[in-house]
Amino acid sequence: MRILHTSDWHLGRSFHREDLLSAQAAFVDHLVGTVRAERVDCVVVSGDVYDRALPGVEAVKLADETLARLASLDVRVVLIAGNHDSTRRLGFGSALMDAAGVHVRTDFATVGEPVLVDGVAFYGIPYLEPELVRAPWELDERGHTAALTAAMRRVRADLATRPGTRSVVLAHAFVTGGEASDSERDISVGGAASVPAGVFDGVDYVALGHLHGRQTMTDRVRYSGSPLAYSFSEARHVKGSWLVDLGADGEVAAEFVEAPVPRRLGRLTGTLDDLLSNDRYADHEDRWVQITLTDADRPSGAMEKLRRRFPHTLVLGYEPRGGDDRPVRTFAERHREKTALDLAADFVAEVTGSAAGPAERALLDEAFGDVRRKEARA
């Protein structure tokens, strides 16, 4: 069984106002070409097909064309919802698509019911909002670990009735030890965000989505990452998909297939004069660039001057070097490790002059959870 593992397409997303739809269409061409050339049996898409719950018309059109092209190759497709997707909108028509070999799994109620492809059971675990499944599944604990543990309990129970069957799990989650980037949406509301890789023990391969960099958590648990870079923190990422060979005995071999790069990314830091004159920056002239100026005084007309040399400059920051030579951290860097709940609590402290108490934090947590549940139902 040959499987192509991909995820986090985020169709419809832009990059600092640069339209990426043509680059996403180029990735689709690459994906279809890889399926044909490598004789792939099944394509798995581990969530975040779209960038938002209500995707634009062109993004929906591209997704429709992609699935139709894959189906025309007589390859099976198994696809789950991620935390950016609307389960109802993405899941529309899923029963009809099953007949075409495109299996869309967005409902937590069907976890544990596999898609069978040539003797391999594919179990789709869509993104699970912890509070949304807590009551139906009668969970004693909150959080993502409790939700995914319960989901995998259903998977193992079904797998136990299929002796000798090889198994693949698709899941959209943050596994402990994974390296995040700036472009993933925080999922920490409703309990700790990360789950241990051991939650997925007992299956032959786990195709993960959510984190945008390719990562090997274990030989059997991997992130494919997003096919395109969606933040400058991904400048050094190698984008693509995992080509996985699943042997008759459950042995796994994986090879990474690189995707086309629409335009390379670069991050430059220095004084304006140095950036404009130094030859060592020549290879950045055709890249999308994030520039941080370190001049003691803020230069006037900096963006206009920089774009004469680096026409694709998208982000310009200013961090003057202080007397202690320590760079000033940006707002994003100062708050990167903070959860949405922490940021809201900081806002309360800023407005009221005193830190948010336990009751206020509990109310904020409940409000965030309610918003997330409404998004999941949308």
Residues present in the chain in total: 378
Per-residue exposure over 209-233, b if at least 16 CB sit within 10 Å of its own CB, e if not: bbbbbbbebeebbbbbbbbbbbbbb
DSSP state of 179: P
pTM: 0.84
- What are the backbone dihedrals phi and psi of residue 144, each rounded to the nearest 5 degrees, phi first? -70, -35
DSSP helix/strand/coil, 1: coil
Q: What is the pLDDT along the chain (378 residues), one digit of tens a residue?
A: 999 999 999 999 999 999 999 999 999 999 999 999 999 999 999 999 999 999 999 999 999 999 999 999 999 999 999 999 999 999 999 999 999 999 999 999 999 999 999 999 999 999 999 999 999 999 999 899 999 999 999 999 999 999 999 999 999 999 998 988 888 887 765 445 789 999 999 999 999 999 999 999 999 999 999 999 999 999 999 999 999 999 999 999 999 999 999 999 999 999 999 999 999 999 999 999 999 999 999 999 999 999 999 999 999 999 998 644 444 455 555 555 567 777 787 777 656 655 677 788 888 877 877 777 776 666
The per-residue pLDDT for 190 is 44
The per-residue pLDDT for 186 is 75
From 32, 30, 33, 35, select the one nearest 3 (Cα to Cα).
35
On whether the CB atoms of residues 290 and 317 are closer than 8 A, the answer is yes
Three-class SS of the chain: CEEEEECCCCECCEECCEECHHHHHHHHHHHHHHHHHCCCCEEEEECCCECCCCCCHHHHHHHHHHHHHHHHCCCEEEEECCCCCCHHHHHCCHHHHHCCCEEEECCHHHCCCCEEECCEEEEEECCCCHHHHHCCCCCCCCCHHHHHHHHHHHHHHHHCCCCCCEEEEEEECEECCCCCCCCCCCCCCCCCCEECHHHHCCCCEEEEECCCCCEEEECCEEECCCCCCCCHHHCCCCCEEEEEEECCCCCEEEEEEECCCCCCEEEEEECHHHHHHCHHHHHHCCCEEEEEECCCCCCCCHHHHHHHHCCCEEEEEECCCCCCCCCCCCHHHHHCCCCHHHHHHHHHHHHHCCCCCHHHHHHHHHHHHHHHHHHHHC
